[in-house]
Structure 1
Amino acid sequence: MSESALDRRRRLLGPAYRLLYAEPLRPVRGEGVWLIEADGRRVLDAYNNVPSVGHCHPRVVEALARQAAALNTHTRYLHDAVLDYAERLLATCPPPISQAMFTCTGSEANDLALRIARCVTGGTGVVVTANAYHGVTAALAEMSPSLGAGVALGPHVRTVPAPRDPETFARDVAGAFDALAAAGVRPAALLFDTLFTSDGVFPDPPGLVAGACASARRAGALVIADEVQAGLGRTGTHMWGFARHGIVPDLVTAGKPLGAGHPVAAVMARPEHLAEFGARSRYFNTFGGSPVSAAVGLAVLDVIRDEGLIARAAASGALLRARLLALAARHGCLGAVRGAGLYLGVEVAAGPAAAARLVEGLRRRGVLVGLCGAAADVIKIRPPLVFGAGHAVLLADRMDEALSGDRLQ
């Protein structure tokens, strides 16, 4: 008997990798909001934010292939596409944010932002939220509590609860920096995902983080806005989640959604901070900021603009949220519905086991969603930005079927 793909994976990749879903997904092709499995089944992708403008968008694929056929080097040479991309990307930020450095992943971007913050402040202390996820490098893993109890927080890290109101969050952040100071740890940064997605999706009210950012700056820390989840217009109102809160961070990080799956990521910064960092450190990344990455990044920005994807995120997200609220009113196992644009979280009041069964029930019905929150009891919905009204209706209908047909209580 031949070895199964699952057994082969276990043998070759080891135990640290995890698969989503009891019935593992095995896609062979992607198209917009759809993943196509080996047997031809089309599955609605309401989970993957990395293919931001849809799986295999023709304009992105063409840009990648065209530049790869011409030249792919690195940022130690001059190339206009890299400069064009930096210029276009920075034009989406408020004027104080006017320089960019490129990496391949959000983890790398957050790691670089952390290095810059520590260089500028002379400190090491970082405050994050209680179930944050910011990356998988050694430095970021120890400030990503969502990785679990087996990954210890660093001695220079303090956590605060996910924000529920601006005043409490500001006090919590001030208290965390006070605790660092009491332990003899000089502050470096407040690092937060602007939708607090791993914590369970807490986007409201707009302006939620302004007081906390002021607390951090009073303590001598820089503010790092992690936009890997919220960025590129996903909130439906602004290109970046921080703008929805009316703040201007010191550093902004963005990840692979910049390349719709191609490894493009970036740190965007105030020039005075990069001047200090550059005076002390050289920076180089073989693949971060390559001409191919720049061509792909430019194509993604073109698609967002030309297809009106920020407005689509607002419209589709509003329709989906209304449908989910209607479901929550009919099904007692659901709780609060939170979100902004095309990033939504639905609490499962019946608990984490019921939430997991709902995710699996949707998978069986051809819809992909995930889980978030410290107790893994919040349904996480973050589809590609090309997700439309018909897809929103389909997702809600399939969730209604799962809630009606499966035992979730």
Structure 2
Amino acid sequence: MDSTTLAARRDRALGAGAPLFYNTPLHIVRGQGVELFDPEGRRYVDMYNNVPCVGHANPHVAEAMARQQSTLNVHSRYLHEGIVSFAERLAALHGREIESVIFSCSGTEANEVALRMARMATGKAGIVCTNATYHGNSEAVGKMTRIGNGQNSAGDVRAIPFPEMLRPLISGATEDELCEAYLDRLRQVIRSFEEDGTGFAGLIVCSIFANEGLPDVPRGFMARAAEIVREAGGLVIADEVQAGYCRSGVWWGYDVLGFRPDIVVTGKPMGNGLPLAATAASRRLVETFRSATRYFNTFASSPLQAAVGMAVIDVIERDGLAANVATVGAFLKAALAERQGRFASILDVRGHGLFIGVEIAKGDAAREPDADKAVDIINRLKDRGFLTSNAGAYRNVVKIRPPLVFQKSHAEEFLVAFDSTMAEVDG
């Protein structure tokens, strides 16, 4: 069936408006490692999908999934050693402050649990996020999506400007001055919660500010922000759905930015395609939440989740994927940074490990963000067999986030296609 016919059927079956990538949507039928294939057998290198973190159709994960499903899969109201062992193993990947885990099926659910946990522990309602963030789709979590600074004055969720060096809050400020300016915005919002009686419960951030466009953050910002939050009686929630599981070259994004969270949320890569997410914290915080809610999810904390979750960690550790991410990511980021001086549209290259953003700007004196050109670039790259997307506060950042098994040979192949694409768009 051709893609046009399939798209029309999709609109009828799912309702028109369900999002698809690219101007001409792709019909994908098979995946292997970092490669995807359409019905005609055309190969695409996946440089976007964070879900299959140890590779599409990973045999170790697929075998663990099939073996467990053919043996037993039930809900969580029976004892099962597998889920206990998985929770213990996941908690041990963090510091000693993280002791217990609540499993769910998506990052949205896990973030909602984290928000409720912070509010129950503090007895307050106010949550601080950034003005260009995304943490999920539910009504409660969706309230944080790109709410902007103009909506800071009321409600139980209020935003601060995300910290960045490229378009700083104060022009001409030193890095230390800039850090202090962003921290002052955090103090102001916390104070506003206390002054109007809402009370302050906590701060939630993606540990590497992924949806904000992977900005270069003023040194020391997150460590000091965490101190300010705790001094005000709040909790720090690290959303590691994109940043975690070795995406940055180490296990957790909060280690990259140098802070310790009270609550950690993980999702997408945990199950390599099986719905699996988690909210992890101290035993005290988790048990306070459980005693007040008796939280239960039919499909979470299951033997199947445990088997697949353990298999993913097995592959990451067995195959040394953290080191691979650090090495290949450093090579690709350096190569792209070298092209910043070669192509006029590239304003900045930044990121951590195998999560890289290429900021695309107009050629005017102001170097304004150019989202249209970023979209053009990702569509041209797709036509050359490389799948990326656009993201960031201005939707002008070419987002590169391949599975962790991405190799240097794939990066070299991508750079050839990237050079051809940029030569076309820059004339």
8 Å contact 2:35–2:44 — kept in the other structure? Answer: yes
Deviations 1:44-94 (A, max 9, x none): 110001111111100000000000000001211111110111111111000
Q: Measured at CA, do residues 171 and 232 of structure 1 come closer, stay the same or move farther in structure 2, by a change above 3 Å?
A: same
The answer as to 2:192 corresponding to 1:179 is yes
Structure 1 counterpart of 2:161: 161
Contact 2:243 2:253 in 1 (8 A): yes
* d(CA) in 2 for partners of 1:67, 1:181: 50
Q: Deviations over 1:341-394 (max 9, x none)?
A: 011111001211111111111011110111111211111111100011011111
One-letter code aligned to 1:359: I
Give the aligned partner of residue 18 of structure 1.
19
- Counterpart of 2:57 in structure 1: which amino acid? C
For residue 318 of structure 1, what is the amino acid of its counterpart? A
3-state SS, counterpart of residue 29 of structure 2: strand
Structure 2 residue aligned with 1:190, among 192, 197, 203?
Answer: 203
Q: 1:153 to 1:372 in 2, by over 3 A?
A: farther
2:82 corresponding residue in structure 1: 81
Whether 2:264 is the aligned partner of 1:252: answer yes
One-letter code aligned to 2:229: A
Which one of the candidate residues 255, 275, 280 is aligned to 1:263? 275
* Counterparts in 2 of 1:191 and 1:378: CA distance versus 1, 3 Å: same
Q: What is the SS of the residue equivalent to 1:209?
A: helix
The answer on whether the counterparts of 1:169 and 1:211 sit within 8 Å (CA) in structure 2 is no
Question: Contact 1:169/1:209 (CA < 8 Å) preserved in 2?
Answer: no
Quote the residue 2:317 is aligned against. 305
Q: Please give the secondary structure, in 2, of the residue aligned with 1:329.
A: coil
**Residue 357 of structure 1 corresponds to which residue in structure 2?**
376
What fraction of aligned residue pairs are identical, expressed as a percent? 42
Q: Is the 8 A contact 1:170 1:213 kept in 2?
A: no
TM-score relative to the length of structure 1: 0.95
| Counterpart selection for 1:333 from 324, 345, 368 | 345
1:380 aligns with 2:399: yes
Cα separation, 1, equivalents of 2:195 and 2:114: 25
CA contact (8 A) 1:142 1:154 kept: no
Shift of residue 153, structure 1, vs aligned partner: 11
Inter-partner Cα distance in structure 2 for 1:318 and 1:228: 21
- Cα pair distance change 1:305/1:153, threshold 3 Å: farther
**Whole-Å Cα distance in 2 between the matches of residues 152 and 31 of structure 1?**
45
> Which runs of 5 or more residues in structure 2 are unaligned?
165-177, 363-369
Query: Partner of 1:40 in structure 2?
Result: 41
**Any idea what SS the aligned residue of 2:158 has?**
strand
* Alignment correspondent of 2:243: 230
- Deviation per CA, 1:132-168, whole angstroms, max 9, x where unpaired? 000001100111127x99x999821111111125433
Please report how far the alpha carbon of residue 408 of structure 1 lies from its aligned counterpart in structure 2 after TM superposition.
4.7
Instruction: Indicate which of 281, 288, 291 corresponds to 2:293.
Output: 281
5 Å matches for 1:313-332? 313-332=325-344
Q: Quick one: which amino acid aligns to residue 35 of structure 1?
A: L
Structure 1, unaligned runs of 5 or more: none
- Contact between 1:174 and 1:219, CA under 8 Å: does it hold in 2? no
Secondary structure of the corresponding residue to residue 75 of structure 1: coil
| Alignment map for 1:146-157 (pairs within 5 Å) | 155-157=155-157
Give the whole-Å Cα distance in 2 for the aligned partners of 1:316 and 1:291.
Answer: 34
Q: What's the secondary structure of 1:202's corresponding residue?
A: coil
Q: How many residues align?
A: 405
Q: Secondary structure at the match of 1:126?
A: strand
Query: Match of 1:371, SS?
Result: strand
Name whichever of 274-283 and 79-88 sits farther off. 274-283
Question: Secondary structure of 2:186's match?
Answer: helix
- Rounded to whole Å, the distance in 2 between the matches of 1:154 and 1:139 is 15
Amino acid at match of 1:230: A
Distance of 2:80 and 2:44 partners within structure 1? 40
What residue is the counterpart of 2:408 in the other structure? 389
User: Conserved in 2, the CA contact under 8 Å of 1:170 and 1:209?
Assistant: no
The correspondence of residues 134-153 of structure 1 with structure 2, limited to 5 A, is 134-145=135-146
Which secondary structure does the structure 2 equivalent of 1:101 belong to?
A: strand
Please state how far the C-alpha of 1:15 moved relative to its aligned partner.
3.2
Report the residue type matching 1:14 in the other structure.
Answer: G
Sort the Cα spacing of 1:177 and 1:15 in 2 relative to 1 into closer, same or farther, 3 A. farther
Aligned match for 2:284, one of 272, 279, 291: 272
How far off its partner does 1:276 sit? Answer: 1.9
One-letter code aligned to 1:370 = S
Q: Cα RMSD between the aligned structures? A: 2.1
Q: More deviation in 180-189 or 74-83?
A: 180-189
Matches within 5 A, 1:85-96: 85-96=86-97
Counterparts in 2 of 1:207 and 1:259: CA distance versus 1, 3 Å: farther
- Asked whether the equivalents of residues 229 and 235 of structure 2 are also in contact (C-alpha less than 8 Å), the reply is yes
Q: Quick one: distance in 2 between partners of 1:257 and 1:94?
A: 20
CA contact 2:60–2:311 (8 Å) conserved in 1: yes
- Paired letter, 2:315: V
Whole-Å separation in 1 of the counterparts to 2:196 and 2:29: 52
